[in-house]
Structure 1
Amino acid sequence: MEERVIVVDDIPVATSFHRPGFEAAMPLLVCLHGGTYTSAYFGVAGGPLGSFIDIALRSGFPVLTIDRPGYGGSGTLEDEENDFARQAEILDAVIRQKVAELGASGVVLVGHSIGGMIALEVAARRPVWNLLGVTVSGMGARIPAGGASEQLGAIPVTGMIDLPVPERDAVMFGPEGTFSEEARKAAHTTYALTPMIELKRAPVWARERLAKVAAQVEAPVQNFLAEFDALWDTSPAALADFIEYFADGAGATSEIAPRVGHSLDHHLLGASIHLKQLAFAYTCTTPTSA
């Protein structure tokens, strides 16, 4: 693993590059974690096939993980500046530098939860580097009114918040039998202090931003929502809405991932999602005929 801090507008952003053991001419996978986690999220193994990073490297994909502003080794943004479009602006610049440094011919963005929202914000910027596709999980088209997401956003604090582990687990994991105790404990090591402003902005993003963002996205989009997601509307109508938002671009898919909770990657069937994400990334490397 090669670690590097890149400074953008005086904000240090910590990155970790994971190189596969063989050359396969695969696109660079750039992973953006969700709220309450660091980028170590993508290194937690939900089952015997390993973590997202493990499976990607075995398949020949180089992987770049990034601590978003406010997390891990990265600097923080003031609340008034810390919206998802601003994070996307900073991360766009970080990715541009890493693409040039690594000589990557193409990029597929991989985003979970808030990281998925920001991945779409990055895509909507139509970056100068070669964005081939976006695969997002743990986010969708609708937040249920009065649900867990709005309840988290209503916590009356500012600044950084350290959510109790039992409360996090209740939101992030599905029912007993969908995850292992080893994975749950490993996930705890990636829980982090969280900018409260993110939890306040996340519940309204789909309503206020998704349609506008989708209209600007030119790359294909793949989306997964968990069967036992505690935060998002997983109804067929909500999935159809997500697909419709991207109808004028390269298109989107949206499907339910069975037997997983919100943090899909950390469940026993997380690897089945990873394999679909890698297949999508591989497909993005082959141009479609006109």
Structure 2
Amino acid sequence: MPAGTPARPPLHSAPSPTDGPRRPTIHPGETRMAEPTRRTPPQTRGITLDADGLRLSALLALPQQLPPRAVVVAVHGGGMRAGYFDSRARPGHSLLTLGAELGYAVLAVDRPGYGASAAQLPQGQSLADQSATLRAALTDFARNQERGAGYFVVAHSNGGKLALALAAGHEPGTDLVGLDISGLGTHLAVEPHDLPGPDRPGTWRRHWGPLRLYPPEAFGQCRDVVAPVPALEAQEAARWPQIYQDIAARVRVPVRFTFAEQEQWWHQDEQALRALRAPLAAPHVVIDRQPDAGHNISLGWASRTYHLQALAFLEKCLLARETAAVTAPR
């Protein structure tokens, strides 16, 4: 280096203790990038819906930006409550917070005979009456909340029966986008007398499968989620294979069924899956299997995986609607 030339500082020299924190140089005409903001996780709150005089309790999570892309209606199975879809065993396991983070409103409803309506309906309701009650509750919800593209139902086990009955009463092109159902088939893998009822909780191993499929905290949380199965719901359970034939023939929205790897209530062989698919009038039917899961998928380690797949199916339904609207003849 020539004499008198000042020494060049090393490229990665550390600031001296008196330098203070370095700030980026802002040249004329440039703007400083905004600091990333921390998002507040979506909050879940309890609400009550008026279903033509019946009070249905529910949980609601809303996205930060409204209107929502759509409303995800979560419908629990037999012997559970709306909190089934709001597991806090691990971050990201709740369908409510996950859906809200992705821009959806998520409404998890206590079915008739559960939660706030249990005192009014100690015997529960038939499937047809449950469908009418849920439809009335959604009408009440729409009075105060924006719906975006409409309703998409994510349902589990006996809740899947209600989802299908609800869809059977909807006309094509209305506000029902599609259904995503887990833990429900048509060919029972047990005898009818083994199904859960008011005094029969059912075999716990069929509900859960291997315990390794669930976070340990999930079982402690279930104290607030588990509830008796109403009598009318239990009485209809054995007749579901026959009821399904009539309901499925009137379902005209896309449907996805998911069976857990350790599902033990329903047969899943090719004959059983053909019987599940054949009577449906739906334009699109998907049947999937969820690895590493028992019947109660949304309480297990696989919950986030399943919920993301359910919301991906919702996105496919929305895409199909949007492209159909663009290409439809005027």
Length-normalised TM-score, structure 2: 0.76
Partners of 2:208 and 2:87 lie apart in 1 by 13
Matched, 1:121 2:161: no
Q: In the alignment, which residue of structure 1 is the partner of 2:187?
A: 142
Q: In the alignment, which residue of structure 2 is the partner of 1:74?
A: 117
Partners of 2:126 and 2:235 lie apart in 1 by 10
Partners of 1:26 and 1:52 lie apart in 2 by 15
Q: 1:256 deviation in Å?
A: 1.7
Matched, 1:132 2:132: no
Q: In the alignment, which residue of structure 1 is the partner of 2:58?
A: 15
Q: Among residues 287, 312, 320, which one is paired with 1:279 in the alignment?
A: 312
Q: In the alignment, which residue of structure 1 is the partner of 2:107?
A: 64
Q: Partner amino acid for 2:181? A: V
Partners of 1:182 and 1:123 lie apart in 2 by 35
Contact 1:99–1:129, Cα closer than 8 Å, also in 2: no
Q: Partner amino acid for 1:14? A: S
Q: In the alignment, which residue of structure 2 is the partner of 1:255?
A: 288
Which structure's CA Rg is the greater one? Answer: 2
Change (3 A) 1:180 1:95: same
Q: 1:25 deviation in Å?
A: 4.0
Partners of 2:272 and 2:126 lie apart in 1 by 24
Q: How does 1:181-196 map to 2 (within 5 A)?
A: 181-196=216-231
Q: 1:24 deviation in Å?
A: 7.1
Q: In the alignment, which residue of structure 1 is the partner of 2:243?
A: 209
Q: Partner amino acid for 1:97? A: D
- 1:172-230 deviations in Å (ceiling 9; x for gaps): 2121321121122223321113213322322321x111121111111101111112112
Q: Which has the higher helix share?
A: 1
Q: Among residues 162, 168, 179, which one is paired with 2:214 in the alignment?
A: 179
- 1:111-135 deviations in Å (ceiling 9; x for gaps): 1111111011001011695001111
Greater Cα offset, 134-143 or 181-190: 181-190
Change (3 A) 1:266 1:74: same
Partners of 2:205 and 2:190 lie apart in 1 by 19
Q: In the alignment, which residue of structure 1 is the partner of 2:131?
A: 88
Q: 1:23 deviation in Å?
A: 4.2
Q: Partner amino acid for 1:175? A: P
Contact 1:161–1:196, Cα closer than 8 Å, also in 2: no
Q: Which has the higher strand share?
A: 1
SS at match of 1:194: coil
Contact 2:59–2:83, Cα closer than 8 Å, also in 1: no
Q: Partner amino acid for 1:77? A: L
Q: In the alignment, which residue of structure 1 is the partner of 2:8?
A: none
Contact 2:260–2:292, Cα closer than 8 Å, also in 1: yes
Can you give the 5+ residue segments of structure 1 that lack an aligned partner in the other structure? none
Structure 1 vs Structure 2 CA RMSD: 2.4
Q: 1:31 deviation in Å?
A: 0.9
Aligned-residue sequence identity (percent) comes to: 25
SS at match of 2:161: helix
